[in-house]
Amino acid sequence: MDMNGKIAALLRDFAAIQKSRQGMWGYKRAAAAILALEEPIESLLQPDGTLRKIPNIGPSSSRVILEVLRTGTSPTVENAIAGSGQKSDIERRRDLRGHFLSRAQVLAALRNKKLRGPTLADYHGDLQMHSTWSDGSQTLDAIVEAGIERGYQFCGVTDHSYGLPIAHGVSMHKLFEQHRVIDALNDRYKGRFRLIKGIEANIRADGSVDMEPQELRQLELVVAAPHSSLRSTADQTKRMVAAVKTPGVHILGHPRGRMYGSRPGVSANWDRVFEAAEKTGVAIEIDGDPARQDLDYDVAKRAVDAGCLFALDSDAHSTGELRYAETAIAHARLAGVPKDRVINCWPVKKLLEWLKSRHS
């Protein structure tokens, strides 16, 4: 039982029915603070029945938390939902929080020695992140330094492709400029750290990728990911199968495109998608962004059974977010992904050879 997740979900429900923006933001911030706690919230309960101070948790959020800790539910929130006229909307949101892990659960999964799957020490580098060249706030220099600090041997820089202007997608011209900067950094850090020239290409509605084949070949690493039709209930198996069959694609990024409590993402026959990915050798990503957790351990198990390769990535937009890779590793451990099938756990030489081999 994940009490942190349960309480955060109730605070999000409460936020959704607030009439004032201020109220909404207050409960949303409180929910985020609970999800980010490193320990189970029960451990913050003091002998006198009050809660130890948690940053960003105000008195009214505290009241909800204590109610749940005492009774297992929150009459304050449930009564407010019942009187809000938004019950069906709240129920829809609740359905969109399945198999999300709180930070405390992530850390517990990393510590749990009974779980198979990769450990933090097995993890040599991160293969999806965004820099100041698209919608990220981290420079390439900062990525190298933060990567080294985390004990990594490589990072893949995967700014958005030009087909996604909303995320400041990078033109091919700009991309070649970025490659010169990466080459210079790789010279400077030779033997210590390797930046990989990547892209996060966009999977169109028909399953094609929004870059030309000769453009994909200019990149060492191609993550293809869906960014549209993520609220549609129509079956999109064909779209996702077409994406993993596209030559030059290395990783199927955040395969569903779901978002915590707000967006279901692509619906598809995932067993068929995984079967196709296994055949074409495309790695299935577990995206560790806490709001994404995509795939989660439950669906990832099916990709394990299908024999797929995996990529465990942070999807970081700042160096502080590189720790999101830990969320992906936790899901992989819960799914029992064998570490030799995780491309982030391969020695850098083997990884680079594999990346290259998929262009020929």
Interface with Zn ion (CB under 5 A): 225
What minimum distance in Å lies between the beta carbon of 196 and Zn ion?
A: 17
What minimum distance in Å lies between the beta carbon of 15 and Zn ion?
A: 25
Closer to Zn ion at the Cβ: 182 or 225? 225
Helix axes 325-335, 297-305, angle to 10 degrees: 60
Partnered with residue 267 across adjacent β-strands are 235
Contact 200, 253 (CB under 8 A): yes
Q: Give the CA distances from residue 107 to residues 4, 17, 279, 284, 294, in Å, rounded to whole numbers and listed in that order.
A: 13, 31, 33, 23, 18
Q: Which residue is nearest to Zn ion (CB)?
A: 225
Contact 253, 223 (CB under 8 A): yes
What minimum distance in Å lies between the beta carbon of 292 and Zn ion?
A: 9
Angstrom distance (rounded) from CA 156 to CA 192: 15
Closer to Zn ion at the Cβ: 144 or 201? 201
Closer to Zn ion at the Cβ: 50 or 228? 228
Angstrom distance (rounded) from CA 308 to CA 341: 7
Angstrom distance (rounded) from CA 328 to CA 323: 10
Closer to Zn ion at the Cβ: 27 or 260? 260
Residue ranges in 169-226 assigned as alpha helix (H): 172-188, 213-216
Token pair for 350: 């083997």
Closer to Zn ion at the Cβ: 224 or 332? 224
Closer to Zn ion at the Cβ: 150 or 227? 227
What minimum distance in Å lies between the beta carbon of 281 and Zn ion?
A: 21
Helix (H/G/I), strand (E/B), else coil: 9 = helix
Q: Which residues contact 103 (CB under 8 A, 6 or more apart)?
A: 4, 35, 36, 37, 38, 290, 327
Closer to Zn ion at the Cβ: 225 or 325? 225
What minimum distance in Å lies between the beta carbon of 101 and Zn ion?
A: 20
Closer to Zn ion at the Cβ: 68 or 266? 266
Angstrom distance (rounded) from CA 152 to CA 347: 11
What minimum distance in Å lies between the beta carbon of 253 and Zn ion?
A: 6
User: In degrees rounded to 5, what are phi and psi of residue 129?
Assistant: -160, 165
What minimum distance in Å lies between the beta carbon of 162 and Zn ion?
A: 14
Helix (H/G/I), strand (E/B), else coil: 344 = helix
What minimum distance in Å lies between the beta carbon of 225 and Zn ion?
A: 4
Helices and strands in the chain: count of H runs, count of E runs: 14, 7
